[in-house]
Amino acid sequence: MVRCRGTARRAPTPSHAPVPLIACHECDLLHRVVPLAKGGKARCSRCGAALYQERPGALERSAAFYLAALICFVFANGYPFLSLKIGARMETVYLANSAWALVADGMPLLGLLVLLTSLLFPLSMMVGHLYLLLPRLWHRRPAACGWVFRNLRRIAPWSMVSIFMLGTLISVVKLLDLAEVIPGIGAAFFVAMMLCMAAAEASFDPHLIWPRDAVVDQPTRPHTSALRNGLVACHYCTLLVPIAELDAHGHGHCPRCGGGLHVRKPKSIERTWALLASAALLLLPANLYPVMTVIRLGQGEPSTILGGVVHLAAAGMWGLALIIFIASVMVPGLKLVAFSWLLRTIQRRSAYRPVDRTRLYRIAEAVGAWSMVDIFVVALLAALVQMGQLATIAPNLGAFFFASVVVVTMFAAESFDSRLIWDNLPDP
Ligand SMILES: [Zn+2]
Ligand SMILES: [Zn+2]
């Protein structure tokens, strides 16, 4: 059953005739693929996840915005990003300086993380999508289509242009009482790149690359999961493959995109628990160790995440204090609680509000990356404020542990399989 612009269409009665089908990637329910009106979006009738959409000109628009974003990326890196002026002294930084500042301060891994998430992964997203989309304009498919598509899906959560932009805004506000901050041309191009990428991602649909329906040549029962019909959906290109084609361990490869096929993510519950436990342990040093040291006119001391929030609130910057508190304290904590509760309900075979539990998973997965904002703030401040005794900001060990918490919780979200929420429930 597929909802099309608010109206639901009933799935066909059990039939042996081949019908085009798609499985919901969040609850595994099978749906018959129906044509949509222009601008229509098909959502899962059980959990509400978006299945596919019909946007006229999506291919051209998506390709144009990715191309525009790539051009902006070049200029954003070629021109100064921000300048800091204290008295007669002026410090100018380029985009890549934020990652380099962490490396120079003895934190190469943290520098690499900032370099990947703020520059290299966004660049890969632009180049990779153009590699996929441009040949499609001439109805061709590039040679390494499957490999590129799968890796773009993998790195998408790690491309953090918007979060880096929020980190930049917070850094600028934080520095206002210390010095004059002058945005560079690079910053203007970075904003343009962020907007172009957002527009390109909104237009992009995996079905611009792969056909959205899989004609399954076997009897299927409507209102049941792909699993109960003996089918497994490719996590990347949504192709439905008979479970009989997997090996004895339940593993195989998608014949269309080459992605790994599993009935459910391997050892999802155990791996997610292990990652959550690691993140919970890392939260301690992340909050106990200082994240950065601010030296101003020869005076200053290291401050922890909570210490920084209290300092901002005391200085009257309530809005900023609240953003940092939500992103750095509440989000990681609530994410741990949310995923622990979801895992417990799955292990207890609970039938409690599966739609809300799936929604909770969706929200926890989406907001987790925003905790990286504090790391970007530390990186930018460390790059900008290098004026000796006048003013210097240096990253501390707490930033490394906090970044580890964010990375590990993001891996936990990735290893969690939301379809397990629905596996214990009877068919709708
Ligand atoms: Zn669903
Ligand atoms: Zn596939």
Supply the pLDDT for residue 301.
84
User: Are the CB atoms for 303 and 291 separated by under 8 Å?
Assistant: yes
367 Cα: distance to centroid of ligand 2 (angstroms): 27
The most distant pair of C-alpha atoms in the chain lies apart, rounded to whole Å, by 80
User: Are the CB atoms for 360 and 342 separated by under 8 Å?
Assistant: yes
246 Cα: distance to centroid of ligand 2 (angstroms): 14
Statement to judge: residues 276 and 389 lie in one domain = yes
154 Cα: distance to centroid of ligand 2 (angstroms): 13
253 Cα: distance to centroid of ligand 1 (angstroms): 23
Residue 403 confidence class, pLDDT cut points 50, 70, 90: very high
The per-residue pLDDT for range 58-90, each reduced to its tens digit, is: 999 999 999 999 999 999 999 999 998 888 888
Statement to judge: residues 248 and 358 lie in one domain = no
Q: What are the strands of the beta sheet with 180-183, ordered from one edge?
A: 89-93, 82-86, 180-183
67 Cα: distance to centroid of ligand 2 (angstroms): 26
Look at the block and give the residue holding tokens 């969706």: 362
The per-residue pLDDT for range 123-161, each reduced to its tens digit, is: 999 999 999 999 999 988 888 999 999 999 999 999 999
260 Cα: distance to centroid of ligand 2 (angstroms): 8
378 Cα: distance to centroid of ligand 1 (angstroms): 39
Statement to judge: residues 287 and 391 lie in one domain = yes
226 Cα: distance to centroid of ligand 1 (angstroms): 11
Statement to judge: residues 326 and 406 lie in one domain = yes
Statement to judge: residues 31 and 164 lie in one domain = no
Statement to judge: residues 417 and 347 lie in one domain = yes
426 Cα: distance to centroid of ligand 2 (angstroms): 28
Residue where one domain finishes, among candidates 256, 290, 319: 256
Q: Is residue 14 helix, strand or coil? A: coil
Distance CA(72)–CA(230), nearest Å, equals 47
Residue 304 confidence class, pLDDT cut points 50, 70, 90: very high
The per-residue pLDDT for range 344-376, each reduced to its tens digit, is: 999 999 888 999 999 999 999 999 899 999 999
386 Cα: distance to centroid of ligand 2 (angstroms): 49
- Owning domain of residue 237: 2-55+211-256
Statement to judge: residues 402 and 313 lie in one domain = yes
In the DSSP assignment, the letter for residue 29 is: B
Look at the block and give the residue holding tokens 């792969």: 210
237 Cα: distance to centroid of ligand 2 (angstroms): 4
Statement to judge: residues 156 and 73 lie in one domain = yes
Residue 54 pLDDT > 50: yes
238 Cα: distance to centroid of ligand 2 (angstroms): 6
Statement to judge: residues 157 and 45 lie in one domain = no
**262 found inside a domain:** no
Number of domains in the chain: 3
Statement to judge: residues 273 and 195 lie in one domain = no
